[in-house]
């Protein structure tokens, strides 16, 4: 990403900032336990949990900061935090 | 056109001819006469600008920052405690690369409260990224405003600029000043064309946020623009000289330095007193000269080195003190002369409006000849 003079930026520039690199722990989704209730995507402060063709939640690890809220809120304990291997 | 006028009014006239579109300022002694004069001009339709009255200096410079981001040429003026209150916004102006021009009518900082002159206020903002120009007399104070806009708005620089001149000593003194005419200034200083600006049709953000992956590069860019400004100042100063006969192409000016044994270094109005004292000392056979620094940021390191590397000793007159270290000018002059064996002695002088006379300049030179320096000159031992 080339710098804009004086940190000037057009809308959408924050997308280029891959905040996923800040993560220490990564949420891993176990679809075999998931009921597709959608709670994880509701509480995700980054709004980075989408869904796959079958309707199961899929996080975008480019932007997931690893806050762990989805893990706390998941009623089915279908998400676990794992230490990020870098 | 030569006019006999007060320094503040001469500066206000120069600012008017620069056609600022937005002025935001908060009155504070000794800057008051400048902003009063500008407010009058706006109220009487002699200046087509938006004059924003604000409740503090923090707001004044914030309004200027916003107006500059919206693409306007802007102006403010302050001093001392007012500048201290602007501290945060000063760094933002430089970081967002907004070419705000602000007069600093130099005054001491409290506590204790002092309305009188020294240069502690602007010197304390030396790391903020603003260009800093210092005037010796009212003619220079006036001219440097034209120069400041020209350099600040240069597409390769885009940095804010302080034009510093000594409170009361210059601001409240009447001198003949050539204020130029609107036509002359228009030829020198074309309208400001911003590179980017705030526009609801084409939204942009400025200075929002940089992660550790980017922050250092932004700081590098500001530093590079500062260093590149040296050449732009030189070019703009030369052009000014060609158009109006007063050449500002050099960031430093030597006075009787060619064969000098002892070189004084100073900024601002004290240079005038030093020149008179030097003339007297020369008549007595003392080889003394002066290096006047017109630009403190960017620091003219090469120019200082080449001007001073031939002298036997350097005596710096610092109207400021980096408490716990030395005067800011001396520290940097020393750095510029590193490796040359030229001794640099520092004299903290004229703080809080303490008068400096020719005999004091002579006193400094006599001390320097004995190798005595790095001290507060003229301390009143009886009150300590």
Residue A30, chain B, CB below 8 Å: the answer is: no
Give pLDDT tens digits for B355-368.
Answer: 999 999 999 999 99
Query: Of the residues B244, B273, B293, which one is the last residue of a structural domain?
Result: B244
Query: Of the residues B192, B223, B244, which one is the last residue of a structural domain?
Result: B244
What are the structural domains of chain A?
A: 35-86 (3.30.70.20)
Using the predicted structure, report yes or no on whether residue B102 has a pLDDT greater than 80: yes
Using the predicted structure, report yes or no on whether residue A86 has a pLDDT greater than 70: no
The count of structural domains within chain B is: 2
ipTM of the shown complex? 0.76
CB pair distance less than 8 Å for A7 and B98: no
**Burial class of residue B4 (count of CB atoms within 10 Å of its CB; 0-12, 13-18, 19+):** exposed
Domain co-membership, B18 together with B125: yes
Residue A86, chain B, CB below 8 Å: the answer is: no
Would you list which residues of chain B are within 8 Å, Cβ to Cβ, of chain A?
Answer: 95-98, 158, 195-196, 203-211, 214, 217-218, 221
pLDDT confidence band for A18 (50 / 70 / 90) = confident
Domain co-membership, B163 together with B89: yes
Residues of B in contact with A17 (CB under 8 A): 211
DSSP state of A84: P
State the residue range of the domain holding B80: 2-244
pLDDT confidence band for A1 (50 / 70 / 90) = low
Take residue B248 and report the two structure tokens written for it.
């500002």
Which is nearest to B92 in space by CA: B71, B120, B134, B64? B64
Domain co-membership, B229 together with B283: no
Domain co-membership, B231 together with B257: no
Residue A2, chain B, CB below 8 Å: the answer is: no
Domain co-membership, B148 together with B106: yes
Domain co-membership, B42 together with B176: yes
Residue A13, chain B, CB below 8 Å: the answer is: yes
Domain co-membership, B239 together with B278: no
Take residue A50 and report the two structure tokens written for it.
């989408």
pTM: 0.92
Domain co-membership, B208 together with B267: no
């Amino acid at each position: 990403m080339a710098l804009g003079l004086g940190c000037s930026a057009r809308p959408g520039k924050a997308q280029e900032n891959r905040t996923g690199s800040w993560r220490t722990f990564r949420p891993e989704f176990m679809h075999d336990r998931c009921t597709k209730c959608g709670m994880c995507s509701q509480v995700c402060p980054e709004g980075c949990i989408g869904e796959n063709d079958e309707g199961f939640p899929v996080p975008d690890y480019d932007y997931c900061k690893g806050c762990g809220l989805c893990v706390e809120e998941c009623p089915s304990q279908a998400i676990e935090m794992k230490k990020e291997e870098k | 056109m030569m006019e006999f006028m007060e320094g503040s009014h001469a500066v206000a006239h120069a600012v008017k001819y620069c056609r600022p579109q937005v002025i935001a300022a908060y009155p504070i002694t000794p800057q008051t006469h400048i902003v009063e004069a500008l407010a009058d001009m706006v109220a009487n339709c002699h200046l087509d600008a938006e004059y924003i009255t604000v409740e503090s200096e923090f707001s004044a410079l914030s309004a200027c920052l916003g107006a500059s981001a919206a693409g306007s040429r802007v102006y403010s003026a302050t001093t001392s405690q007012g500048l201290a209150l602007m501290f945060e916004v000063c760094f933002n102006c430089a970081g967002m690369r907004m070419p705000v021009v602000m007069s600093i009518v130099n005054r001491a900082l409290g506590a204790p409260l002092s309305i009188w002159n020294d240069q502690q206020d602007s010197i304390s903002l030396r790391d903020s990224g603003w260009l800093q120009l210092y005037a010796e007399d009212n003619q220079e104070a006036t001219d440097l405003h034209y120069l400041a806009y020209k350099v600040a708005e240069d597409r390769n620089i885009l940095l804010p600029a302080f034009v510093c001149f000594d409170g009361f000593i210059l601001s409240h003194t009447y001198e003949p000043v050539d204020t130029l005419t609107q036509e002359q200034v228009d030829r020198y200083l074309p309208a400001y064309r911003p590179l980017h600006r705030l526009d609801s049709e084409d939204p942009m953000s400025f200075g929002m946020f940089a992660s550790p992956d980017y922050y250092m590069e932004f700081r590098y860019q500001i530093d590079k623009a500062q260093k590149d400004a040296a050449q732009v100042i030189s070019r703009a100063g030369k052009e000014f000289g060609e158009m109006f006969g007063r050449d500002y192409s050099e960031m430093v000016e030597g006075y009787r330095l060619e064969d000098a044994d002892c070189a004084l270094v100073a900024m601002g109005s004290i240079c005038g007193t030093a020149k008179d004292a030097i003339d007297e000392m020369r008549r007595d056979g003392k080889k003394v000269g002066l290096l006047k620094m017109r630009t403190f940021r960017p620091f003219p390191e090469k120019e200082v080195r080449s001007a001073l590397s031939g002298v036997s000793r350097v005596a710096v007159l610092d109207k400021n003190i980096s408490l716990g270290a030395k005067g800011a000018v001396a520290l940097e002059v020393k750095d510029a002369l590193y490796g040359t064996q030229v001794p640099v002695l520092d004299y903290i002088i004229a703080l809080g409006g303490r008068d400096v006379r020719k005999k004091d300049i002579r006193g400094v030179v006599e001390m320097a000849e004995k190798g005595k320096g790095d001290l507060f000159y003229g301390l009143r031992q009886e009150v300590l």
